[in-house]
A and B are shown apart, each in its own frame.
Chain A
Amino acid sequence: MSEKQMTMPQLGESVTEGTISQWLVSAGDTVKKYDPIAEVTTDKVNAEIPSSFEGKIIKLHASEGDTLPVGEPICSIEIAGNEATGEAETTTEAAESRQKTKQSMKKRYSPAVLRLAQEHDLDLEKITGSGRDGRITRKDVARFLEAEPAQASENLNPAAGMQPAASAGGYAGAVAGQAAAPEAKHSAIKSEAGDRVIPLTGVRRAIAANMLRSKHEIPHAWTMIEVDVTNLVNYRNQVKNAFLKKEGHKLTYLPFFMKAIVAALKEFPRMNSTWAGDKIIEKRAVNLSLAVASEDALYVPVIKNADERSVKGLAFAVDELAARVRENRMSPDDMQGGTFTVNNTGSFGSIQSQPIINHPQAAILSIESIVKRPVVVNNMIAIRDMVNLCISIDHRVLDGLITGRFLARIKELLENVNPENTPIY
């Protein structure tokens, strides 16, 4: 018999920590190798952690909702067989018991340490304790302040610590760096008798951190156009039954809109860019982030190289992402690398919305409901299928003029949709 530790895996390149969103086993359970033992949330993504060993779960080292750094033990598994010698066993045990007490003293802060942490707005988690069993001493804090004034000031302003390179794995970075920010701001709010207190899930925390960060950092500007999509509605009605029969997928309006947006993005690359502090980076790839809601959370999976896809290809990609969100199969990779976000608010009946930009992108566009409205055509009143397109832009990167041209181009493409210029395949 020997004891093995399961540790928090690295889920994605820039991920430094993970939150146990759900335990799938409890102490005393027997697991086979590769059996899922826990669901972990990192980057707005739930991943299942498979067991690396076969054996009996002895102890869970974290509770649901706990956020642990990558590599930190999450549970201990007792393994049958004698792969470890008696001596090695005692060493492991000793090391482990040391580690346990170490963990317990690491968070026992003296008044002096707490005061210093508060005065300098320090994250004590970042300081290594040299005291007994890993306790952080007053001297440790003093040394930390002396040695790393940069690190200390980073904590004063969490946003300043984020690298502009976060564009690659932006969300992961945002989650790791800022998850605490919204909590801290609202710590003073108290619940009253009868209120229901809902603990934050990792996903909720990540959403809060990202939204806050985007609103804090990005000067948002907003505009809206209305588009006559009667042609599109007619075209789609013509082909939708055949498509369903042939492909086994429903053909919605969304892929047509995406097709037009992607085409416009290719013509206006500035819309497909990111603010990088001292420069603007126009992205070559057109990776469309798509806001997809689940029951109590919002995910923004990415359709990579959307410009290379046909209407059918986009339709399939949207269905696949929606299925993954529903079934909780998102991988961190699915969420990364987006360059522009499309938000299908029309699906729940909205006719106008003011979306928050998906940091670090430069713009987000929402497609509202298509509604029949009386409009003036050739000095006559006609009943047309109308839709509003709303866009929020990063005003550091984009101005009204280019945004207006971009929207006008989308409008033009959508209003003139026909089978010739917009084939399904």
Chain B
Amino acid sequence: MSVRSYIEAITMALDEEMDRDQNVFVLGEDVGKRGGVFQATKGLYEKYGELRVMDTPLAESAIAGVGIGASLYGLRPVAEMQFSDFMLPAANQIISEAAKMRYRSNNDWSAPLTIRAPFGGGVHGGLYHSQSMEAIFANIPGLKIVIPSTPYDAKGLLKASIRDNDPVLFFEHKRAYRLLKGEVPETDYVVPLGKADVKREGTDVTVITYGLMVHHVLNAAQRLAEQGISTHVLDLRTIYPLDKESIISAAQKTGKVLLVTEDTKEGSVLSEVAAIIAENCLFELDAPIKRVAAPDAPAMPYAGPLEQAFMVKPEQIEQAIQDLAEF
């Protein structure tokens, strides 16, 4: 057991899975000799060679398409999109091919493909390197979407995604890569897909969130605890399909629910979470379901102060929790 960064946990997971299963290989832009722009695949090229750590042209549709083809041949590709912002050229491959493969072939074929993609803002990335893309794919049955919030979960969830027999979109928060550190066991463990995780037990307000926001929410909860406000924190971890059971029981726990996402508000994953709660928990609710999210503006601004204004900030979350607690 040692303290690792979020990105080190990703690399560990890739290394362990490639070591364990000859069918696992990675492909993407600059993943080989370069070790990836964020160094997620660092050292893998040296260890497993160019046939299993494959550099590709700047063509996301090809990265996804090759991955799907290889997966149909029994391999377990881990395709990297350099930034999730550039996934859209691959959207046709992902949505119309990978997601529907098992259904369309009457269960004869499946596409055990994992697509890794760094996402999120607050890294001075501007319009094309800051987006949250999860909502675009979060109503495509056949896909799974995973967003880990801690180094431990990142390793366990990536290993589970690689072993899953259907396509998984695995979003990694860029800011989390080197910001978040935590204990990561060197043992072979997986964190199950489709299961949300209670990151903190509380009785006054329930916060349901995912990704980097889990970190901000936990910090806010820590500060609010000193004021006597007890916050229950549920980390969705798999944001599609949602773990309805955990969402319902977390909402019922306090009857006051705050949903937090870094994505823009309207039509975000939270909207679906809110609908699940509204459908199932009416008689447990003690306050309106509240959301904290980015403004409904086209993109994360490049200018520093504007970027800060756009991002969901820890103080904003703290204020919203306090507001609900006092309601």
Contacts and interface: CB of A to CB of B under 8 A. Distances in A.
Interface of A: 110-115, 131-132, 135, 137-139
A138 B287 CA distance: 9
A138 B327 contact: no
Interface in B277-324: 282-287
B204 interface: yes
B226 interface: no
A132 B286 contact: no
A112 B327 contact: no
Given A138-B255, A139-B204, A111 B285 contact: yes
Interface majority SS (helix, strand, loop, mixed), chain B:
loop
Interface residues of B, number: 13
Contacts of A132: 326-327
A113 B254 CA distance: 12
7 contacts: A110-B255, A110-B286, A113-B286, A132-B326, A135-B327, A138-B255, A138-B256
A110 B204 contact: no
Nearest to A141: B286
Contacts of B283: 111-112, 114-115
Nearest 4 pairs of A and B residues by beta carbon: A138-B286, A115-B283, A110-B286, A112-B286
A139 B256 CA distance: 10
Contacts, number: 33
Given A112-B284, A138-B254, 7 more contacts: A110-B285, A111-B285, A112-B255, A112-B285, A137-B327, A138-B284, A139-B203
A53 B286 CA distance: 42
Interface of B: 203-204, 254-256, 282-287, 326-327
State the majority secondary structure of interface residues on A: helix
A110 B284 CA distance: 9
Contacts of B204: 139
Contacts of A110: 255, 285-287
A179 B5 CA distance: 67
Contacts of A115: 283-284
A167 to B, nearest CB: 43
A111 B281 CA distance: 9
Contacts of A114: 283
A115 B283 CA distance: 6
A110 B327 CA distance: 11
A235 B283 CA distance: 73
A410 B148 CA distance: 92
B132 to A, nearest CB: 32
Contacts of A111: 282-286
A110 B286 CA distance: 5
Nearest to A115: B283
Contacts of B282: 111
B219 to A, nearest CB: 24
